[in-house]
Amino acid sequence: MYTGMLHTHSAAWIIMIILFLVSYFVPKQKVTKMILRLFYLIMIFSGGYMFFSGSYTGVYHVKITCAIIVIGMMEMILARQKKGKSTLPFWIIFGVLLVVVVLIGYGVIAF
């Protein structure tokens, strides 16, 4: 079951990033934004399952926090784009935290 959730979680991250980029670059459609929000839930559920079923250290608390902030940045970028406001600071935060989350997930960052 754990391996299945791991693959679901990894695939959800990839699909989530693709849907986010499609939602950003094709802003007139609403379907991808709705599907993107579904993948937020899939990612949170699968990550929570893995966290509570495994023996993870404190670095994964940082990963969870950063991942939730990444989701928030995605929503802020899409909302500010819709309003016609600047999104550059949110893109920077999004990029940095996404790299941190991926590096922690693959075990490159550990403490």
Please report, for residues 7, 16, 19, 100, the alpha-carbon distance to residue 2 in angstroms, rounded to integers and kept in the order given. 9, 21, 25, 23
Residue 85's domain spans which residues? 2-105
Measured CA to CA, the distance from residue 105 to residue 80 in angstroms comes to: 29
pLDDT at position 6: 87
Q: What is the pLDDT of residues 78-107, one digit of tens each?
A: 999 999 999 999 999 999 999 999 999 888
Question: Looking at residues 10-19, what average pLDDT do you find?
Answer: 95
Give CA 14 to chain center in angstroms.
9
Contacts for 42 with CB less than 8 Å, ≥ 6 apart: 8, 12
Task: Say if 110 falls within a structural domain.
Answer: no
Q: At what angle do helices 2-25 and 88-105 cross, to 10 degrees?
A: 160
Q: What is the pLDDT of residues 35-81, one digit of tens each?
A: 999 999 999 999 999 888 876 778 888 999 999 999 999 999 999 99
Domain count, the chain: 1
Instruction: State pTM to two decimals.
Output: 0.90
Task: Say if 23 falls within a structural domain.
Answer: yes
Question: Looking at residues 3-8, what average pLDDT do you find?
Answer: 88
Task: Say if 63 falls within a structural domain.
Answer: yes
